[in-house]
Amino acid sequence: MVADGSLVPLYKLHNPSFVSLRYIVEMRFSTLAVALLPAAALAAVQTVTVGDQNKLEFSPPSVNAALGDTIQFQFKSKNHSVTQSTFDSPCVFKAAGVDSGFQATPPGATPSASWSFMLNTTDALWFFCAQTAPANHCANGMVFAINPPPDKTFDMFKANAMSQGSAPGGNTTASGSSSSGAAAPTGATGTGGSPTAGATGATSASSSVTSATTSGTADASKSNAASVMNANGVALLSMAGLVLGLIL
């Protein structure tokens, strides 16, 4: 009897060639199984709340993210946006950048609206809330950063925002009313679904993210992404198991 509980004829057990072949196949199967696991299964989903407890802030205000990670924004109150900018112009929409559009959310709404995208770069990325009424949110320090480097820290970015955002004409936005078609990177299409499904966009975007999705629920994009990754992993492992079974 072997490890899987199946019976093996005695002549095979005493056949060195069979034993060696089985060992080699099992080792290669193990290596193949690991290699076939989709890289997306190892990626993280990092959650950022927007306007929680009626505060003009992103929480956490900055994150360190890896290639393939999904950044999911959950809108908790008021009418905020996640609008891409640059370090030097924190409160000005970056041409061809990504933009969630305004997401009006009553306090305590369940589920809250969410918007997310997947990274295809480890470069520093900068964002702000484009709301200016009744107060200029960017000028009040409502900014967010991904992978800020040591020479351009989040605190420096926030200080720039608070000094520039309050200046006349210091806030130029691309956000409109709450929409399901936020600006998305070049090539991304569709209007909903999981973080990898993409969303329609009014402008072409930079290569900083691979897709952008707006969802009416905070957990929908997480569960959809997890389901896709798990299904892919199971299918690939099943296929590898079938090949092993045929060989043995």
Q: What is the pTM of this model?
A: 0.62
Dump pLDDT digits (tens) for 176-227: 543 333 333 322 222 233 332 223 233 333 445 555 665 554 343 344 444 3
Token duo for residue 186: 């070049």
Buried b (16+ CB within 10 A) or exposed e, 69-100: bbbbbbbbbbbbbbbbbbbebbbbbbebbbbb
Separation between Cα atoms, residue 91 and residue 130, nearest integer Å? 7
Burial of 195 (0-12, 13-18, 19+ CB in 10 A): buried
Q: Please count the residues of the chain.
A: 248
CB 145 within 8 Å of CB 126: yes
Token duo for residue 139: 């000028």
Give the gyration radius of the chain's Cα atoms.
24
pLDDT at 106: 85
Phi, psi of 146 (to 5 degrees): -120, 125
Buried b (16+ CB within 10 A) or exposed e, 223-244: ebbeebbeeebeebeeebeeee
pLDDT at 188: 27
pLDDT at 108: 75
User: Where in the chain does DSSP place strands (E)?
Assistant: 45-50, 58-59, 62-63, 70-75, 79-80, 83-85, 103-104, 114-119, 125-128, 143-146, 209-215
CB 217 within 8 Å of CB 110: no
CB atoms within 10 A of CB 54: 9
CB atoms within 10 A of CB 159: 14
pLDDT at 217: 41
- 43-226 topology per CATH: Immunoglobulin-like (2.60.40)
Residues of the chain below pLDDT 70: 1-41, 165-248
Question: Tokens 């992978």 identify what position?
Answer: 147
pLDDT at 163: 94
Domain boundaries, the chain: 10-39+228-247, 43-226
Question: Tokens 């975007």 identify what position?
Answer: 205
pLDDT at 193: 30
pLDDT at 213: 63
Q: Where are the alpha helices (DSSP H) in the chain?
A: 10-13, 16-36, 154-164, 220-247
